[in-house]
Amino acid sequence: MTVSLILASQSPSRRAVLAAAGVIPVIHVSEVDEPAALRDAANARGVSVEQMSAEERVSILARAKALAVYESWKLVADTAASASGDLVVGYPLEAESAESESSESASSALADDSQSDVTHNVDTAQTRDFSGVKVPTKTFDIHDFAHMNEYCKDCNSVLIVGCDSMFLLDGECYGKPHTPTLAAARIKQMSGKTGELFTGHCLIDAKSGKTVCKVSRASVTFAHMSDEEIRAYVETGEPLEVAGSFTLEGFGGAFIEGIQGDPHGVLGISLPLLRQMVCDLGYAWQDLWNSRKLESEAIKDDPTSEEVPKENVHQPGDGWVMCDCGRKHWGHNGAAGVLLARRDDATGRVTHVVMQHRALWSAEGGTWGIPGGAISDGETAIEGALRESFEEANITSQDIDVVGAYCENHGNWRYTTVFAFEKPGHSVNPCAHDDESMEIKWVPIDDVPNLKLLTAMRTDWPSFRTRLDSLASTR
């Protein structure tokens, strides 16, 4: 059995600890308002936040983070489960003379002056292009995705883990200092002393809702630090956004003289404790092992830069595939995106669609397409499209209806376009949620062909427009 783990945190150290242990988690930031969560919990108990112990506080915050991601996961799962309509699957590589026709079409596209300033940051200059090819298709029920994602078939469960750390010194709880002044004052106070680091863990079985919460504890002894050392350490920026104003794995490691307890807990997530929690929910720890050799990781950066990012957080399923069509495509399990349409209240006709202006560092950067990305291990194509479109474009699952899909199947890789409408009385406010986009916006449907479209979108748009109009006329 394979179990997918979602980490409700963007902490690089937590992800690194898991990855080193063979678990590549899906990263889903909780966006919990931590001070508000603590105030609410304290009010419910009739005490002040200051009266709660460090152990209580990290437990509350870990649970809040895990629950927030669980609720988001449920919205995606529920929207995917309520999808209706047909899944049309196209098989372009099975078309007669598809290879020669698509090659000619690609050459023609490269010669098109309207595309001359497009940035290409992959080995091949074009994404898939089958314009002029009569693609054979088959139609399935929209929920018949299992055969298209091998990892989805094998993944029986999803676990969500939330964590929070807090450092206790001389009876005072230290969270993240956020400012250099506060960090310097705290580190000066910690110099030469021993304190206790508490890390709360909350693990939720997404499919059953069962929850386990535990706290790890470790004593940390600091070296005596000079004022110059403290100043230099603060200037690195490292201690500003970490609990207790120190890290074990970074610049701060040289100033830590001893640890009693679980060192992984000091890094933000305790592997022995998490293993126990996984077992408490009825799973085996090795069921979470999913590491595969990834290409060199790159960091997300300025989307208007043409430089490929240097440190991008890879999710399970991320990576390039050398496709049977002869090009490189993104996503070990394929990729998917959402084509979201808005209709006129009176006529029901489609008036706008959400479009993504792609970051310059991406493949065919500077073109327009739809928000989407690699399908993660354990996801259907619809779930992957919904998750990616929220992460990239703030397309909220609870505000849309999935009404159909088109999957272009290349054999060892496929891309699924999920068609969706805003629900009646609901409104989606798209925006660029990350640095993969220069802009996300509603575009009048008649204006889409005038945009500099991603090659694949330019090829598919006429049929997509026809299908959107057909879906709108029947609803």
Q: Tell me if residue 286 falls in helix, strand or coil.
A: helix
Q: Closest by alpha carbon to 160, among 1, 378, 314, 335? A: 378
CA-to-CA distance for 360 and 375, rounded, in angstroms? 22
What letter would DSSP give residue 365? B
Nearest Cα neighbor of 341 from 278, 414, 425, 403 is 403
The pair of three-digit structure tokens given for residue 122, joined into one six-digit string:
């992959």
The answer to whether 328 and 321 are in contact (CB under 8 A) is: yes
Q: Would you call 416 exposed, middle or buried from its count of C-beta atoms within 10 A (0-12, 13-18, 19+)?
A: buried
Backbone angles phi, psi at 258, to 5 degrees: -165, 150
Distance CA 472, CA 470 (A): 5
Sequence-distant (6+) residues with CB within 8 A of 382 are 80, 83, 142, 145, 336, 402, 405, 416, 418
The type of residue at 168 is L
Report how far residue 330's alpha carbon sits from residue 337's, in angstroms, rounded to the nearest whole number: 12
* Rounded Cα gap, residues 231 and 233, in angstroms: 6
Clarify whether 164 is annotated catalytic. Answer: yes
- Segment (H or E) for 278: helix 271-280
Closest among 107, 160, 161 to 132, alpha carbons compared: 107
In the DSSP assignment, the letter for residue 297 is: P
CA atoms within 13 A on the CB side of 366: 13
- b/e burial code for range 441-460 (CB count within 10 A of at least 16 → b): bbeebeebeebbbbbbbbbb
Handedness of CA 62, 23, 286, 317 (dihedral sign): positive
Measured over the CA atoms of residue 25, residue 27, residue 31 and residue 35, the dihedral's sign is positive
Total Cβ atoms within 10 A of residue 337 = 25
* φ, ψ at 371 (rounded to 5°): -65, 135
Q: Which structure tokens are listed for 4?
A: 């997918």
A 10 A CB-CB count for 319 gives 16
Q: What is the DSSP string of 426-454?
A: --------STTEEEEEEEEGGGGGGS-B-
- Catalytic residue (choose from 117, 144, 164, 344): 164
User: Distance between CA 439 and CA 418 in Å, rounded?
Assistant: 20
Catalytic positions = 164
